[in-house]
Amino acid sequence: MPLITIASLSSYNIDYVIVGGGTAGLTLAARLTENSDVVVLVIEAGLYHGPLPEIDTPGYIGRTIANPKFDWTFVSVPQVHANGRSILQPRGKGLGGSSMNNFLGVFRPHRDEVDAIQNLGNSGWNWDSFLYYVKKSETMLPSTLSSIDAKKYAADPDPEFHGIDGPIKKSFSVIFGEMQAKFFDAVENLGIPRNPDPSNGRNTGSMTPFMSVDSNTAKRSYSVSGYLEPNLGRKNLLVLPETYVTKVLFEDDQGSLIRASGVKFSNNGAVSTVSVNREVILAAGSLQTPQILELSGIGNAQILSKHGIKTLVDLPGVGENLQDHVGVSNVAEVETQDETMDVLQDPAAVERHEELYKQRTGLFANVPPGGFVFIPRKLVGLENVIDMSTSDMTENRVSRSGFEKQYEVLRNLFSDEEHPQAEFILYPGHQPLPYSVPEIGKQYATLTCDILHPLSRGTVHIASADPLVPPAIDPRYFENEIDLEQLARVVDLALTVYHTSPFKEHVKSIKVPSEDVRGRGLEGLKEYIKENCGSFYHPIGTAAMLPRSDGGVVDPSLQVYGTKNLRIVDLSILPLGVCSHTLTVAYAIGEKGADIIKMGQV
């Protein structure tokens, strides 16, 4: 049994310490312990929750968000360009990390942007490698759709691009609706075709995505169920939950490269340490990995000295380069024969669907039947981005050269009119929103919009030398005004969808944004966005895999610059955002990271 206590820790000889038992961390731990000669310790600050409806039941998605039992519920610093609002930044609190809390979508980025990561100085980090590792992580379960319906709902996968025996199960929804099909027809009439299998690296278009749901059990498939629980019998896999790592420890006798000797941690107020024979690996995610680095003396010397922390490695890129998808929702009242999520306001309907769930069907057995659209650049505009000079985008940055190279990549991506730059998500019902309240007995559709390649760059830095104080998270939403312009155009396009046949046959009226906001055109939509926007929970980039001279924190082997045996294996290493949700990328990083480390064991 790998779940251990502090008291028993001293009896083990630890080869690898993994800090963070989340999506990538548990993937890495499971793969490393395939070698029975190594002992791996995973230290996780949250609980091992075990089987719980809030986590396992697909139709309960969202219930763990902002719940302090499951979510660290971080908030950003006030966002200057979003009316001074502090914006929620959820992160999974417990074994499984954010794979425990996410909204279950299984998406992949565009192959061109993955290849661009290699072109930024990261040999081997390309589309072919990504495809190999993401397939290794997954099992595609069979669809029940007929060939006609597979085309109708844009859910016709090519087996060549999907895994068959990986730990994470993925399946299609068990419910499809006519409103969803008409939504796809409407966006097709606007120039966005169906994409029956976006997993091939060309993800522009409308689609029904796979969900990380095991259709055999109608439960969430995530890093705990896929990578941890099947391996509980391994004697060389140890997990220490409810334990907060406060810093990485280093040997006193240092040469040009410092060597990690272990970690310091806190458990119920008691402070202790554990030594490591081989490596310390940070997998705490984009918001907490940079915090641990800085607390350990690795980061921008000016920031560290401000908090009285001795600088061991002056690495200014730590905590910089934060990128996140930002978006906003709009809602319309609709009329449809489909059963929307609004029906669950009726206790009798809830009881009925709870009974259906026992048969692995109904609204709780899957994510609500909606639709996703990845919108090509040609429908968003952005010609001004292609023409903008790099100097306009790189003011006051740690590494001007690094950002210049990023923006050159983005200009190339934006020059392709078919490359996806934004997203629609159709939710069949009134999504829970702080700025709109549904009326009981009515039906709604929520169309959420986000941008996928923001030009703004934020930061995550320690706010205190106290490791229990959350980091200062500053996404700097809309610092580059083009991001706001782009999102306003995407919302305007969404409003056009409501008036486009055949989807418009379902739409009775637009609820939000209000008629007054809509009447003021793009300027009104910009104000609506600034007052109501939120994170899409996809932060990346804060320990970027780039050359050190470009603001990098790790090299292509995921080794932290200036160290011998400290690596990072999580989404913080991505130097550039991707036009997809990030779950599959995290699994692929965990899988590839494990192989990189195993190669060093030979």
Any idea which residues carry the catalytic annotation?
538, 581
- Between the alpha carbon of residue 119 and those of residues 123, 544, 568, the distances in Å are 8, 14, 20
Q: Which two tokens stand for residue 511?
A: 């609820």
Inter-axis angle of helices 400-415 and 111-119, nearest 10 = 150
The secondary element (H helix, E strand) that includes residue 113 is: helix 111-119
Residues 6+ apart with CB under 8 A from 281: 16, 17, 18, 19, 25, 28, 566, 567, 568, 569, 593, 597
**Are 90 and 72 spatial neighbours (Cβ–Cβ below 8 Å)?**
yes
Instruction: Look up residue 394 and give its amino acid.
Output: T
Alpha helices in 140-263 (DSSP H): 147-152, 178-189, 223
Give the list of residues 6+ apart from residue 54 with CB closer than 8 angstroms, or none.
60, 63, 64, 67, 70
* Dist CA 503 CA 498 (whole Å): 6
Q: What angle, rounded to 10 degrees, do the helices at 178-189 and 481-498 form? A: 120
Work out the number of other CB atoms within 10 angstroms of the CB of residue 465: 14
Q: What string of DSSP letters covers 218-242?
A: TEE--HIIIIIGGGTT-TTEEEE-S
Sign, CA dihedral 194-199-200-204, equals positive
Q: Is 24 helix (H, G, I), strand (E, B) or coil?
A: helix
589 close to 289: Cβ distance less than 8 angstroms? no
C-alpha distances (whole Å) from 60 to each of 103, 167, 209, 220, 344 are 9, 22, 18, 10, 11
The strand pairing partners of 140, in sequence order, are 170
Q: Are strands 507-512 and 326-334 parallel, antiparallel or unpaired?
A: antiparallel
Query: Any binding-site annotation on 245?
Result: yes
3-state class (DSSP) for residue 384: helix
Q: In whole angstroms, give the CA distance from residue 389 to residue 394.
A: 10
Q: How many CB atoms are closer than 10 A to CB 332?
A: 23
Which residue, 95, 94, 101, 26, is CA-closest to 537? 101
- For residue 544, what are its two tokens? 């970027």
Annotated binding site: 245
Annotated binding site for FAD: 245
